[in-house]
Amino acid sequence: MIDIIINVTLLAFLAITAVAIVRMNNLFAIIMLFGIFSLLSAGLFVVMDAADVAFTEAAVGAGISTVLMLATLALTKDHKEKRPLGHRPWLPLAVVIVTGAALVYGTIDIPRFGDPTAPQQTHVAPYYIEKSMPDTGVPNMVTAVLASYRGFDTLGETVVVFTAGIAVLLLIGGRRSKKNSEKPDVKEDDET
C-alpha cells in the first residue's frame, strides 16, 4: 500500500517536472529541473528495489551530467531558449500522440511488475539466483552478474567510457588560449 502512495507521488512529481521543463525557456532552470527529474527517477528505482541502478541514476543523472550541462551553459552566450517565430507545433504534437498511444498499447501486453512467470524471470534469472552464491561467493547478485557472468560486457562498457574521455580530450581538451599561442611551448605541443 505504501509503495503505491510513494509511486504515485513520485510519478506525479515526474510528470510535473517534465511539463515544467517543456514550458520553461530559461535554460539554467531547465538544467536544474533535469537534475530533479533524475533524482525522482532514482527514487522510483529505489521503490522498485533496484538500488544499484538508483545509485547510478542519482550520481550520474543528478550529479555529473547536471554539472556538465551547467559548464556547457557557461560557455554559451544566450541563457534563454529561442522560440522560432511562426512555428506551428501541430505536426510534432500529432506524431507524439500517435507514438505515445502506440507505446501505451504496447504496455498492455507487458507482464505485471514482478510476475514470476514473465519471460525475463524464466530465462537465465533462476540460474543466477541459484548458482551465483556457490559460483562466486558474492552476496550482491548484481555485482556477480556484472563483473563475473557478464564480464565481457562490462569490459566493453569500460572501454566505451574510456573512448568517451579520449573523444572529449581530442575535441575540446587542448587549451588554446592566447597565452599559449604567444609563448609556444615545445613540450606542450608534443603532448597535444
Binding site for another protein (CB under 8 A): 51-52, 54-56, 59-60, 63-64, 67-68, 71-72, 74-75, 134-140, 142-144, 146-148, 151-152, 154-155, 157-159, 161-162, 164-165, 168-169, 172-173, 175, 177, 191
Taking CA atoms, 16 is separated from 11, 20, 22, 40, 66, in Å, by 9, 6, 10, 11, 19
Nearest to 47 by CA among 116, 114, 115, 122: 114
Pick the closer one to another protein by CB: 84 or 137.
137
Pick the closer one to another protein by CB: 33 or 145.
145
CB of 36 to another protein, least distance (A): 17
Taking CA atoms, 67 is separated from 14, 28, 70, 81, 92, in Å, by 21, 11, 5, 19, 30
Pick the closer one to another protein by CB: 67 or 95.
67
Pick the closer one to another protein by CB: 96 or 159.
159
